[in-house]
Amino acid sequence: MMRNLLYIDGALVEPARGGFLAVNDPATGDCFALAAAATEADVDAAVAAARHAFDHGPWPRMPAAQRAVVLRRVAGAIRTDLEELANLEMRDNGKPLKEARGDIADAAYCFDYYADLAEQVEAEGEATHDVGDERFHCRVRKEPLGVVGAITPWNFPLLMAAWKVAPALAAGCCVVLKPSELCPLTCGALAHYLHEAGLPAGAFNLLTGTGPDAGVPLSMHAGVDKLAFTGSQATGTRVMQAAAPDIRNVSLELGGKSPFIVFADCDLDKAVEWIQFGVFWNQGQICSATSRLLVERPIYEALLARLVAAAQRILIGPGDLDGVQMGPIVSDAQRRRVLEGIERGRADGARLVSGGCSPPQLMRGYFVQPTIFADVPLDSWIWREEVFGPVLCVRPFDTEAEAVAVANDSRFGLAGAVMSADLERCERVAKALRAGVVWINCSQPTFTQLPWGGYKASGIGRELGRHGYEAYLEVKQITRFDANADWNWYQPAAVESK
């Protein structure tokens, strides 16, 4: 049985208390690997290693081109082992193998992208500024922020780690990564690739373990300069509270309950495809899932009928089953939460039109049918809260203004989508939606080059793109006075004092 250790200060190490966690295959429920269970002592060791590496080691002081070499080696190693990693991700997480391959390829690209961006930003150099007084020479430089505590989720295990680790390392930071205990295995492979690529000891450290035993002490550790978290709003709140006493930098990518507005002039077949992808991809375990569907009334019943028929054709099964479109939910506990959410929908008066339970033909594993509710009350739990499973809520609307108002009536603001043949209307709606990501005539495409993050309770800050790189940099002003110039401190000329 596979047995993953911790990676601290450039070496694989046993957990301080000697504990290991079972890693289960969601398609069967069987344990197929063990992962080291880090505790506070391991967190202390990992943060100390990262702190020393940042304060005294070579990584933050290297030219960007040298750091880029290491990142590109990691990208190459991921591509070389893509099939092996995809199979590991499938067995660890449950997602279909085809989707896992795409995730692994995206993770490799993420390392290449930030290698390129680090070189580009360094080549741009420091920005100089004319302050209106020639005696002062002013410039702004960007420096690596410090030690980063990264806490990542189970829905895209390697890819979500890459979204944080790649830009942080590219910027010159040192990282302590705590992935979800449910899906830690590909992050163990990442530690191996970084080691083999020549990353200095301490610049990257891996702590597998539970949230209470490893995530909480990492969040509270005074040696961490920045916390980068992806997960639920409830946990994100606790991460933010842990950072507050020391006023530490925090970025949070949290949940969503994203709307998809469909107008009557759309192509119904295309609408069905994008709606399904927006909520059933990855078993609905995506923070940006467009799970609140608003359909213009003239096509409401017709589109609903097509959606039900399409959902009932979705092939559900283990991720390596040929042609499978939906795999299992990640764990038995998460499956129970999804099924409880479905029961709340029924209790609140939503009309169940498809799915609603585990597939009877799949006796083992953590499977849930793609589920559709119609005529969902606006004040119901299932309309307002994130299920994080394959559950779609549908309502009709009559006017564009009504659709936008209902879409924005949420404490979340991660994503949204609009579909119409009228592109001017699409642009109006896209600008009106209070969300960090808006898709027109599609749902869920995500690009490493573009910023990712949300409004309101969906988080703070942005990942990906240049925004995701600059999140790991501090900004420093340097002002130099011309030693040959005249100066009287009591007559500072054009200089302002505030």
Looking at the annotation, which residues are catalytic?
A: 253
According to DSSP, the β-strands at 147-151 and 174-178 are parallel
Helix (H) or strand (E) holding 37: none
| Residue-wise burial string across 309-319, b where 16 or more C-beta atoms lie within 10 A, e elsewhere | ebbeebebbbb
Buried b / exposed e across 451-468, counting CB within 10 Å, b at 16+? bbbbbbbbbebbbbbbeb
By the 8 A CB rule, do 229 and 238 touch? no
Rounded distance, CA 353 to CA 328, Å?
21
- Across 276-304, b (16+ Cβ under 10 Å) vs e yields bbbbbbbbbbbbbbbbbbbbbeebbeebb
Phi and psi, residue 15, nearest 5°: -65, 145
Q: Would you tell me how many other CB atoms lie within 10 Å of the CB of residue 274?
A: 22
The number of beta carbons lying within 10 Å of the beta carbon of residue 401 is: 10
Q: Is 486 exposed, middle or buried (0-12, 13-18, 19+ CB in 10 A)?
A: exposed
Strand, coil or helix: what is 456? Answer: strand
Query: How many Å apart are CA 204 and CA 113, to the nearest integer?
Result: 19
- Alpha-carbon span 312 to 236, nearest angstrom: 35
Instruction: Provide the angle, in degrees to the nearest 10, between the axes of the packed helices 64-80 and 157-171.
Output: 160
Helix (H, G, I), strand (E, B) or coil at 438: strand
What is the dihedral angle through the alpha carbons of 37, 42, 44, 49, rounded to the nearest 10 degrees? Answer: -120
